[in-house]
Amino acid sequence: MPRPPHIPLPLTATPLKRRTILKAGGTLLLSVLSPLPAQAAQILAVRVWPADDYTRVTLENDTNLKATHFIVPDPQRLVVDIEGLELNPTLKSLVAKIESEDPYIKQVRVGQNRPNVVRLVFDLKEEVRPQVFTLAPVGSYKHRLIFDLYPVAPSDPIAQMIEKGEWMRDDLAPGGRPELPAPAVADPLARLPAMAVVTPETVAPTKAAAPGPAPAKPSVVRMVTIALDPGHGGEDPGAIGAAGTREKDIVLSIAKRLKFKLEELPNVRVMLTRDGDYFVPLGTRVAKARKVQADLFVSIHADAFMKPSARGSSVFVLSERGASSSAARWLATKENLADAIGGVNMGGHDLQLASVLLDLSTTAQINDSLKLGKAVLTEIGGFARLHKASVEQAGFAVLKAPDIPSILIETAFISNPEEEAKLRDNGYQDQIAAAVTKGIKSYFAKNPPMAKSRIT
């Protein structure tokens, strides 16, 4: 009778059969324990952000990448070798993403330099100071490998404004710092009283005046410089509405409208911390404003909240003693993540600069900021719904310039579908810009800019 197939072999099997079984089992065990061949990393997206300040190239990937780089002169080239990578169509698409208007990159070449190593060669338009670094996953981003190409001579906000005709060389002191123009007789019909400058000569004397009509003291006229800060940009889109509206686009549009309206006022000039779609670290935004000795700093944003029902405009200033509400604290925490999302080189100078600025805030600056915030909030409340009827306070990093009254305006909740639609509307953007302009005029009418030196 044949043996059933499920019964194991008898122990009396021949030595040859036993050796065959043991050999097969050992081979199976080794195949389980042996490591599988390493799989090459996958490039998920490539992005290029050209700007006058610097050009950023981002490779988003599914794992942390190791890269080495070096500069080759005559002609200038940046060579980057990336390990653990094989060419794929996404990486090849980088070639087509370089624009002819890019200030620093002429073109890029991509190739498989050797097995598991991809080489990028950036043909440059001028000598650059590259920063190559990685970013850990944050928000919706996976791992990122960043190439920041800075000019050897860092871009100067005053030089940029001179080039655009927004600043006169006569405004510069011999040391390169802005100085007040010579005193001039003010014409109340030709300019706003708000643009007068408080000086010792304009303060009324304490002793009795001599008999007879005294000649009027001339006010001192100088340019008032306002720094407008459109939030987010580049790698950092900010909040995104249900219809796909990106905060970074809306606030840049509003800032440009506001710049136009403010510059229609006599003796006012405006600097934008960014004028295109690129990322500016929080500390650099503050540093730019201080470089031009701005009289005001206005940061423009569009809220988002977990619930789409949240709505209304808000104005915030800095707080040294904690947030004025839990919502203000939550919002400040979210906005302060901009550097992590936008991508700051942890070994760079920007963080050192920011850490100094964050420790220099003054009570006087906060008090002036509260006055400015109240004036602006009052004007916005004239046509828009307010989230809070008073100016709120929280620890926003971008408001920590020690010597510049600074406010942050949340124009509306982009996470609210109705308000998202308003933010996309040109008429509403104009209303916001007009209200902020009127608020700034009102502030200066009661608080003329001082003729004093800034902290340097």
Where residue 370 sits, what CATH number does that domain have?
Answer: 3.40.630.40
Taking residues 376-397, report their average pLDDT: 92
Q: Are residues 144 and 250 in the same domain?
A: no
Is 295 within the bounds of a domain? yes
- Work out the average pLDDT over 184-201: 40
Res. 128: pLDDT tops 90: yes
Kindly tell me if the per-residue pLDDT of 138 is higher than 80: yes
- According to DSSP, the residues that pair with 71 across neighbouring strands are 78
* Bond prior to 188 in cis (omega within 30° of 0): no
Task: Give the domain-ending residue among 151, 172, 190.
Answer: 151
Contact 335, 341 (CB under 8 A): no
pLDDT at position 328:
74
Cα separation, 368 vs 365, whole angstroms: 5
Kindly tell me if the per-residue pLDDT of 338 is higher than 50. yes
Find, among 245, 246, 254, 248, the residue nearest to 430 by Cα. Answer: 254
Residue 30: per-residue pLDDT: 42
pLDDT band at 153; cut points 50, 70, 90? confident
Residue 320 binned pLDDT confidence (cut-offs 50, 70, 90): confident
Indicate the average pLDDT of the chain: 81
Long-range own/partner contacts, residues 139-143 (CB < 8 A, 24 or more apart): 139/337, 139/340, 139/341, 141/60, 141/235, 141/341, 142/44, 142/60, 142/61, 142/62, 143/60, 143/61, 143/62, 143/63, 143/64, 143/65
What was the pLDDT predicted at 192? 46
In the chain, the number of structural domains is: 2
Residue 94 belongs to a domain with what CATH number? 2.60.40.3500
Do 237 and 138 lie in one domain? The reply is no
Same domain (yes/no): 424, 294: yes
Domain boundary among 108, 135, 151: 151
> Is residue 189 assigned to a domain?
no
Same-domain pairing of 267 and 411: yes
Contact criterion met (CB below 8 Å) for 396 and 332: yes
* Domain span holding position 291: 220-446
Please give the pLDDT value at position 62: 92
Decide if 8 is inside a domain.
Answer: no
List, for residues 8-25, the tens digit of each pLDDT value.
444 444 555 555 544 555
Q: For the chain, what's the residue count?
A: 456
What local confidence, expressed as pLDDT, does residue 16 receive?
Answer: 52
Q: Which of 28-42, 112-126, 194-208 reaches the highest mean pLDDT?
A: 112-126
Is there a single domain that holds both residue 93 and residue 241? Answer: no
Least confident of 171-175, 187-191, 217-221, 381-385: 187-191
Residue 452 forms part of a structural domain: no
CA 276, 360, 339, 389 dihedral sign is negative
Q: Is position 166 within any domain?
A: no
- Same-domain check for residues 145 and 234: no
Q: Would you state the pLDDT for residue 175?
A: 52
pLDDT at residue 247 tops 60: yes
Instruction: Kindly state whether residues 145 and 227 are assigned to the same domain.
Output: no
Helix axes of 426-446 and 363-380: crossing angle, nearest 10 degrees: 130
In a domain, 181, yes or no: no
In angstroms, how far is the first alpha carbon of the chain from the final one?
103
Average pLDDT rounded to a whole number, residues 137-155: 92
Most confident of 139-143, 195-199, 218-222, 254-258: 254-258
Dihedral (Cα; 77, 164, 372, 397), 10-degree rounding: 0
Average of pLDDT values for 291-305? 94
Task: Give the domain-ending residue among 151, 186, 202.
Answer: 151
Reply yes or no on whether the pLDDT at 303 is more than 70: yes
Res 313 pLDDT > 90? yes
How confident is residue 32, by pLDDT bands cut at 50, 70 and 90?
A: very low
Whether 232 shows a pLDDT value over 80: the answer reads yes
pTM greater than 0.85: no
Whether residues 47 and 135 share a domain: the answer is yes
Same domain, 299 and 385: yes
The verdict on 137 and 230 lying in the same domain is: no
Query: Tell me, what's the pLDDT at 235?
Result: 96
pLDDT of residue 8: 46
Task: Answer whether residue 97 shows pLDDT above 90.
Answer: yes
Within-domain flag for 133: yes
pLDDT at res. 454: 47
- Residue 307 has a pLDDT of 85
Mean pLDDT of 319-337: 77
Q: Which pLDDT score, from 0 to 100, does residue 451 have?
A: 56
Local confidence band at 157 (pLDDT 50, 70, 90 cut-offs): confident
Same domain (yes/no): 132, 240 = no
Indicate whether 39 pLDDT > 90: no
Q: Are residues 144 and 228 in the same domain?
A: no
Given this model, what pLDDT does residue 178 score? 56
The answer to whether residue 179 sits within a structural domain is no
336-374 burial, b for 16+ CB within 10 Å, e for fewer? Answer: eebbebbbbbeebebbebbeebeeebeeebbebbbbbbb
